[in-house]
Amino acid sequence: MPVRHEQFYFGLRVASLTRRRPSENGFEPGYLALLRSGELAARASDSARHLEDCDLCARYCHANRKKTLDGIVCATGELAAIASFGARRGDEDCLCGWRGSGTICFAGGAMRGIFRPNRDARCEAGGRTSTAADLAELMLDLQAAGCHNINLASAGHTVAQVLAALPLAAKAGLRLPLVWNSNGYDSPEALALLDGAVDIYLPEMRYGVAEMAGRYSQLPDYVAVNRAAVAEMHRQVGDLRVGADGIARRGLLVRHLVLPGGIAGTGETARFLAESISPNTWIDITDQYRPSDRAPEYPELDRPITAAEYAEALAQARAAGLTRIDRRCSAAWLVRWP
Protein backbone atom coordinates (compact mmCIF):
# COMPACT_ATOMS: atom_id res chain seq x y z
CA MET A 1 0.00 0.00 0.00
CA PRO A 2 1.94 3.07 -1.21
CA VAL A 3 2.35 6.01 1.14
CA ARG A 4 2.97 9.56 -0.01
CA HIS A 5 4.25 12.66 1.69
CA GLU A 6 1.88 15.54 2.22
CA GLN A 7 1.63 17.77 -0.82
CA PHE A 8 0.47 21.34 -1.36
CA TYR A 9 -1.13 22.46 -4.63
CA PHE A 10 -1.12 26.25 -4.61
CA GLY A 11 -2.79 26.37 -1.21
CA LEU A 12 -4.75 23.11 -1.28
CA ARG A 13 -3.41 20.77 1.38
CA VAL A 14 -3.51 17.19 0.12
CA ALA A 15 -2.88 14.83 3.02
CA SER A 16 -1.94 11.74 1.06
CA LEU A 17 -1.67 9.32 3.97
CA THR A 18 -2.71 6.49 1.70
CA ARG A 19 -3.66 6.10 -1.91
CA ARG A 20 -6.47 3.71 -0.99
CA ARG A 21 -9.50 4.84 0.96
CA PRO A 22 -12.10 2.26 1.96
CA SER A 23 -15.32 2.36 -0.03
CA GLU A 24 -18.04 4.37 1.73
CA ASN A 25 -20.99 2.29 2.91
CA GLY A 26 -19.97 -0.60 0.71
CA PHE A 27 -20.31 1.44 -2.48
CA GLU A 28 -18.31 0.29 -5.51
CA PRO A 29 -18.01 2.62 -8.50
CA GLY A 30 -19.08 1.22 -11.83
CA TYR A 31 -15.69 1.63 -13.48
CA LEU A 32 -14.21 -1.10 -11.26
CA ALA A 33 -16.39 -3.77 -12.90
CA LEU A 34 -15.27 -2.50 -16.30
CA LEU A 35 -11.67 -2.60 -15.10
CA ARG A 36 -11.94 -6.24 -13.97
CA SER A 37 -13.53 -7.34 -17.23
CA GLY A 38 -10.97 -5.54 -19.39
CA GLU A 39 -13.70 -3.36 -20.88
CA LEU A 40 -12.29 -0.15 -19.35
CA ALA A 41 -9.00 -0.60 -21.21
CA ALA A 42 -10.92 -1.34 -24.40
CA ARG A 43 -12.97 1.83 -23.98
CA ALA A 44 -9.77 3.84 -23.52
CA SER A 45 -8.35 2.48 -26.78
CA ASP A 46 -11.62 2.99 -28.62
CA SER A 47 -12.02 6.58 -27.44
CA ALA A 48 -8.47 7.39 -28.55
CA ARG A 49 -9.40 6.28 -32.06
CA HIS A 50 -12.43 8.58 -31.97
CA LEU A 51 -10.04 11.52 -31.56
CA GLU A 52 -8.76 10.89 -35.09
CA ASP A 53 -12.21 11.64 -36.56
CA CYS A 54 -13.83 13.31 -33.63
CA ASP A 55 -17.48 12.68 -32.82
CA LEU A 56 -17.07 13.03 -29.07
CA CYS A 57 -19.46 15.96 -28.76
CA ALA A 58 -22.56 16.89 -30.72
CA ARG A 59 -20.69 19.39 -32.92
CA TYR A 60 -19.28 16.43 -34.89
CA CYS A 61 -16.28 18.40 -36.12
CA HIS A 62 -14.64 15.14 -37.36
CA ALA A 63 -11.22 16.75 -36.88
CA ASN A 64 -8.12 14.71 -36.14
CA ARG A 65 -7.48 16.11 -32.69
CA LYS A 66 -4.20 14.22 -32.47
CA LYS A 67 -2.75 16.37 -35.24
CA THR A 68 -4.41 19.78 -35.28
CA LEU A 69 -6.48 22.29 -33.32
CA ASP A 70 -7.45 24.28 -36.41
CA GLY A 71 -11.16 24.92 -36.44
CA ILE A 72 -11.80 22.96 -33.25
CA VAL A 73 -14.19 24.87 -30.98
CA CYS A 74 -13.15 23.00 -27.84
CA ALA A 75 -9.49 23.98 -28.43
CA THR A 76 -8.37 20.64 -26.99
CA GLY A 77 -6.13 18.17 -28.76
CA GLU A 78 -4.86 14.77 -27.72
CA LEU A 79 -4.14 16.00 -24.17
CA ALA A 80 -6.64 17.81 -21.98
CA ALA A 81 -5.84 21.05 -20.19
CA ILE A 82 -6.82 21.47 -16.54
CA ALA A 83 -7.86 25.00 -15.59
CA SER A 84 -8.38 24.47 -11.86
CA PHE A 85 -9.00 21.83 -9.24
CA GLY A 86 -9.83 21.43 -5.59
CA ALA A 87 -12.09 20.15 -2.85
CA ARG A 88 -15.10 22.18 -3.87
CA ARG A 89 -17.64 23.27 -1.29
CA GLY A 90 -20.78 25.27 -1.95
CA ASP A 91 -22.50 23.35 -4.74
CA GLU A 92 -25.12 20.66 -4.14
CA ASP A 93 -24.89 19.29 -0.58
CA CYS A 94 -25.28 15.74 -1.87
CA LEU A 95 -22.01 16.16 -3.80
CA CYS A 96 -20.00 18.41 -1.46
CA GLY A 97 -21.01 16.91 1.88
CA TRP A 98 -18.60 17.85 4.65
CA ARG A 99 -15.34 16.99 2.85
CA GLY A 100 -15.94 18.58 -0.52
CA SER A 101 -16.39 17.40 -4.09
CA GLY A 102 -13.05 16.60 -5.73
CA THR A 103 -13.48 18.89 -8.72
CA ILE A 104 -11.20 18.89 -11.76
CA CYS A 105 -12.20 21.67 -14.13
CA PHE A 106 -11.09 21.27 -17.74
CA ALA A 107 -10.25 24.23 -19.95
CA GLY A 108 -12.13 24.78 -23.18
CA GLY A 109 -15.44 23.29 -24.21
CA ALA A 110 -17.79 22.60 -27.07
CA MET A 111 -20.20 25.47 -26.34
CA ARG A 112 -19.67 29.14 -26.97
CA GLY A 113 -22.17 31.75 -25.91
CA ILE A 114 -22.59 35.13 -24.33
CA PHE A 115 -22.88 33.91 -20.75
CA ARG A 116 -21.62 31.26 -18.37
CA PRO A 117 -22.74 30.43 -14.84
CA ASN A 118 -20.44 31.84 -12.15
CA ARG A 119 -19.46 28.32 -11.14
CA ASP A 120 -18.10 27.77 -14.70
CA ALA A 121 -15.92 30.87 -14.84
CA ARG A 122 -12.96 28.70 -13.78
CA CYS A 123 -13.24 26.55 -16.92
CA GLU A 124 -11.78 28.82 -19.52
CA ALA A 125 -9.30 28.54 -22.36
CA GLY A 126 -5.75 27.89 -21.22
CA GLY A 127 -4.89 25.80 -18.22
CA ARG A 128 -2.15 23.25 -17.84
CA THR A 129 -1.86 20.43 -20.36
CA SER A 130 -1.97 17.11 -18.55
CA THR A 131 -1.15 13.55 -19.56
CA ALA A 132 -3.27 10.57 -18.59
CA ALA A 133 -0.82 9.85 -15.78
CA ASP A 134 -1.09 13.45 -14.54
CA LEU A 135 -4.89 13.28 -14.49
CA ALA A 136 -4.89 9.90 -12.74
CA GLU A 137 -2.49 11.26 -10.12
CA LEU A 138 -4.74 14.22 -9.46
CA MET A 139 -7.79 11.97 -9.02
CA LEU A 140 -5.89 9.91 -6.46
CA ASP A 141 -4.69 12.98 -4.59
CA LEU A 142 -8.21 14.37 -4.34
CA GLN A 143 -9.37 11.00 -3.01
CA ALA A 144 -6.57 10.99 -0.44
CA ALA A 145 -7.57 14.53 0.57
CA GLY A 146 -10.92 13.08 1.66
CA CYS A 147 -13.21 14.23 -1.15
CA HIS A 148 -16.50 12.39 -1.58
CA ASN A 149 -16.25 12.00 -5.36
CA ILE A 150 -14.26 12.90 -8.46
CA ASN A 151 -16.19 15.67 -10.21
CA LEU A 152 -15.07 16.21 -13.82
CA ALA A 153 -16.28 19.73 -14.62
CA SER A 154 -16.66 21.06 -18.17
CA ALA A 155 -15.85 17.51 -19.22
CA GLY A 156 -17.89 17.03 -22.38
CA HIS A 157 -14.92 17.39 -24.74
CA THR A 158 -12.54 15.21 -22.65
CA VAL A 159 -14.08 11.74 -23.03
CA ALA A 160 -10.93 10.18 -24.50
CA GLN A 161 -8.60 11.87 -22.04
CA VAL A 162 -10.66 10.82 -19.01
CA LEU A 163 -10.96 7.24 -20.23
CA ALA A 164 -7.19 7.12 -20.75
CA ALA A 165 -6.61 8.19 -17.14
CA LEU A 166 -9.34 6.18 -15.43
CA PRO A 167 -7.75 2.69 -15.74
CA LEU A 168 -4.51 4.06 -14.31
CA ALA A 169 -6.28 5.64 -11.36
CA ALA A 170 -8.50 2.61 -10.72
CA LYS A 171 -5.53 0.22 -10.74
CA ALA A 172 -3.78 2.50 -8.23
CA GLY A 173 -6.73 2.49 -5.84
CA LEU A 174 -9.36 5.01 -6.95
CA ARG A 175 -12.67 4.06 -5.35
CA LEU A 176 -14.79 7.24 -5.46
CA PRO A 177 -17.94 7.84 -7.51
CA LEU A 178 -17.14 9.45 -10.86
CA VAL A 179 -19.23 12.55 -11.68
CA TRP A 180 -19.58 13.56 -15.34
CA ASN A 181 -20.28 17.30 -15.19
CA SER A 182 -21.01 18.58 -18.71
CA ASN A 183 -22.84 21.28 -20.65
CA GLY A 184 -25.31 18.62 -21.79
CA TYR A 185 -24.26 18.82 -25.44
CA ASP A 186 -22.98 15.24 -25.33
CA SER A 187 -23.05 12.97 -28.38
CA PRO A 188 -24.51 9.44 -28.32
CA GLU A 189 -21.06 8.14 -29.28
CA ALA A 190 -19.50 9.77 -26.23
CA LEU A 191 -22.19 8.51 -23.87
CA ALA A 192 -21.82 4.97 -25.20
CA LEU A 193 -18.14 5.06 -24.26
CA LEU A 194 -19.00 6.36 -20.78
CA ASP A 195 -21.75 3.80 -20.09
CA GLY A 196 -20.88 1.97 -16.87
CA ALA A 197 -17.83 4.13 -16.17
CA VAL A 198 -19.79 7.14 -14.88
CA ASP A 199 -21.67 6.89 -11.60
CA ILE A 200 -23.29 10.33 -11.48
CA TYR A 201 -24.28 12.35 -14.53
CA LEU A 202 -24.46 16.09 -13.87
CA PRO A 203 -25.55 17.77 -17.14
CA GLU A 204 -26.70 21.31 -17.65
CA MET A 205 -30.01 21.92 -19.33
CA ARG A 206 -29.36 25.47 -20.48
CA TYR A 207 -32.42 26.07 -22.62
CA GLY A 208 -35.94 24.77 -22.92
CA VAL A 209 -36.64 26.48 -26.26
CA ALA A 210 -34.58 25.88 -29.42
CA GLU A 211 -34.92 29.48 -30.60
CA MET A 212 -33.18 30.75 -27.46
CA ALA A 213 -30.34 28.24 -27.83
CA GLY A 214 -29.79 29.39 -31.39
CA ARG A 215 -29.81 33.07 -30.48
CA TYR A 216 -27.62 33.02 -27.39
CA SER A 217 -25.37 29.98 -27.91
CA GLN A 218 -25.50 29.60 -31.70
CA LEU A 219 -26.69 26.02 -31.29
CA PRO A 220 -30.25 25.73 -32.64
CA ASP A 221 -30.14 21.95 -32.13
CA TYR A 222 -29.10 22.23 -28.48
CA VAL A 223 -32.51 21.43 -26.98
CA ALA A 224 -33.00 18.28 -29.07
CA VAL A 225 -29.43 17.09 -28.48
CA ASN A 226 -29.56 17.95 -24.80
CA ARG A 227 -32.83 16.13 -24.16
CA ALA A 228 -31.63 13.02 -25.98
CA ALA A 229 -28.41 13.09 -23.95
CA VAL A 230 -30.24 13.49 -20.63
CA ALA A 231 -32.58 10.62 -21.54
CA GLU A 232 -29.58 8.37 -22.27
CA MET A 233 -27.85 9.42 -19.06
CA HIS A 234 -30.95 8.52 -17.08
CA ARG A 235 -31.22 5.18 -18.89
CA GLN A 236 -27.67 4.39 -17.77
CA VAL A 237 -27.82 5.47 -14.12
CA GLY A 238 -31.46 6.14 -13.18
CA ASP A 239 -32.73 8.60 -10.58
CA LEU A 240 -30.17 9.98 -8.14
CA ARG A 241 -29.57 7.68 -5.17
CA VAL A 242 -28.24 9.17 -1.96
CA GLY A 243 -26.74 7.26 0.96
CA ALA A 244 -27.81 7.49 4.60
CA ASP A 245 -25.03 10.06 5.03
CA GLY A 246 -26.65 12.34 2.46
CA ILE A 247 -23.93 11.80 -0.16
CA ALA A 248 -24.92 10.93 -3.75
CA ARG A 249 -23.71 7.56 -5.02
CA ARG A 250 -25.29 7.06 -8.43
CA GLY A 251 -27.83 8.62 -10.75
CA LEU A 252 -28.81 11.77 -12.65
CA LEU A 253 -28.60 15.31 -11.25
CA VAL A 254 -29.59 18.15 -13.60
CA ARG A 255 -28.44 21.77 -13.36
CA HIS A 256 -30.55 24.57 -14.80
CA LEU A 257 -29.53 28.23 -14.74
CA VAL A 258 -32.32 30.81 -14.51
CA LEU A 259 -31.91 33.63 -17.04
CA PRO A 260 -33.56 37.06 -17.10
CA GLY A 261 -36.98 37.30 -18.67
CA GLY A 262 -37.56 33.56 -18.69
CA ILE A 263 -35.08 33.09 -21.55
CA ALA A 264 -33.88 29.74 -20.17
CA GLY A 265 -37.32 28.18 -20.60
CA THR A 266 -37.50 26.73 -17.11
CA GLY A 267 -41.10 25.59 -17.44
CA GLU A 268 -40.42 23.70 -20.68
CA THR A 269 -37.36 22.01 -19.21
CA ALA A 270 -39.19 21.04 -16.02
CA ARG A 271 -42.11 19.54 -17.94
CA PHE A 272 -39.74 17.52 -20.11
CA LEU A 273 -37.99 16.11 -17.05
CA ALA A 274 -41.19 15.31 -15.17
CA GLU A 275 -43.03 13.78 -18.15
CA SER A 276 -40.25 12.21 -20.25
CA ILE A 277 -37.49 11.38 -17.76
CA SER A 278 -38.81 11.01 -14.20
CA PRO A 279 -40.72 13.19 -11.71
CA ASN A 280 -38.04 12.06 -9.23
CA THR A 281 -35.29 13.81 -11.21
CA TRP A 282 -33.03 15.78 -8.86
CA ILE A 283 -32.66 19.30 -10.27
CA ASP A 284 -30.55 22.23 -9.08
CA ILE A 285 -32.23 25.43 -10.26
CA THR A 286 -29.57 28.07 -9.78
CA ASP A 287 -29.57 31.86 -9.51
CA GLN A 288 -25.91 32.26 -10.44
CA TYR A 289 -26.39 34.22 -13.65
CA ARG A 290 -24.38 37.41 -13.87
CA PRO A 291 -24.02 39.59 -17.01
CA SER A 292 -20.81 38.97 -18.95
CA ASP A 293 -18.70 41.43 -20.89
CA ARG A 294 -20.76 40.61 -23.99
CA ALA A 295 -24.11 41.14 -22.31
CA PRO A 296 -24.45 44.77 -23.53
CA GLU A 297 -24.90 43.31 -27.04
CA TYR A 298 -28.13 41.75 -25.73
CA PRO A 299 -29.89 44.26 -23.44
CA GLU A 300 -32.35 41.63 -22.24
CA LEU A 301 -29.43 39.76 -20.64
CA ASP A 302 -27.59 42.79 -19.34
CA ARG A 303 -28.87 42.48 -15.77
CA PRO A 304 -28.99 39.93 -12.95
CA ILE A 305 -32.18 37.97 -12.44
CA THR A 306 -34.67 39.24 -9.88
CA ALA A 307 -35.92 37.47 -6.78
CA ALA A 308 -39.33 37.26 -8.42
CA GLU A 309 -37.89 35.59 -11.53
CA TYR A 310 -36.11 33.00 -9.42
CA ALA A 311 -39.23 32.33 -7.36
CA GLU A 312 -41.22 31.91 -10.58
CA ALA A 313 -38.69 29.38 -11.90
CA LEU A 314 -39.01 27.32 -8.73
CA ALA A 315 -42.80 27.51 -8.95
CA GLN A 316 -42.71 26.31 -12.57
CA ALA A 317 -40.60 23.30 -11.61
CA ARG A 318 -42.97 22.36 -8.82
CA ALA A 319 -46.02 22.87 -11.03
CA ALA A 320 -44.49 20.49 -13.57
CA GLY A 321 -44.34 17.81 -10.89
CA LEU A 322 -40.66 17.89 -9.89
CA THR A 323 -40.17 17.45 -6.15
CA ARG A 324 -36.41 16.91 -5.72
CA ILE A 325 -35.30 20.53 -6.12
CA ASP A 326 -31.84 21.42 -4.84
CA ARG A 327 -31.23 25.08 -4.10
CA ARG A 328 -27.49 25.09 -3.47
CA CYS A 329 -26.20 28.16 -5.25
CA SER A 330 -23.65 29.70 -2.87
CA ALA A 331 -20.15 30.75 -3.88
CA ALA A 332 -17.22 28.36 -3.62
CA TRP A 333 -13.54 28.25 -4.49
CA LEU A 334 -11.10 26.24 -6.47
CA VAL A 335 -7.34 26.44 -6.77
CA ARG A 336 -6.31 28.06 -10.07
CA TRP A 337 -3.17 27.04 -11.90
CA PRO A 338 -1.19 30.04 -13.17
Q: What is the CATH number of the domain that holds 112?
A: 3.20.20.70
pLDDT the model gives residue 6: 27
What is the rounded CA–CA span in Å between residue 30 and residue 59?
28
Asked if residue 305 belongs to a domain, the reply is yes
pLDDT per residue as tens digits for the range 231-274: 999 999 999 999 999 999 999 999 999 999 999 999 999 999 99
Q: What's the domain range around 187?
A: 28-336
- Cβ neighbours around 3 below 10 Å, total: 8
0.85 surpassed by pTM:
yes
Number of domains in the chain: 1
Q: How sure is the predictor about 24, in pLDDT bands with cuts at 50, 70 and 90?
A: low
What does the pLDDT look like over 271-286, one tens digit per residue?
999 999 999 999 999 9
Whether 242 is in a domain gets the answer: yes
Residue 175 within any structural domain of the chain: yes
Residue-wise pLDDT tens digits, 141-153: 999 999 999 999 9
Q: What whole-number percentage of the chain has pLDDT above 90?
A: 74
Distance in angstroms (rounded) separating the CA atoms of residues 84 and 146: 18
pLDDT band per the 50, 70, 90 thresholds, residue 22: very low
Domain assignment of residue 9, yes or no: no
- Look at residue 72 and tell me if it is in a domain: yes
Whether 39 shows a pLDDT value over 80: the answer reads: yes
In the chain, the N- to C-terminal Cα span, in Å, equals: 33
Is residue 1 domain-resident?
A: no
Residue spans of beta strands (DSSP E) within the chain: 7-9, 12-14, 80-88, 101-106, 128-130, 150-153, 178-182, 200-203, 241-242, 248-257, 282-286, 324-326, 335-336
Q: Is residue 6 part of a domain?
A: no
Look at residue 20 and tell me whether its pLDDT is greater than 60.
no
Structural domain includes residue 19: no
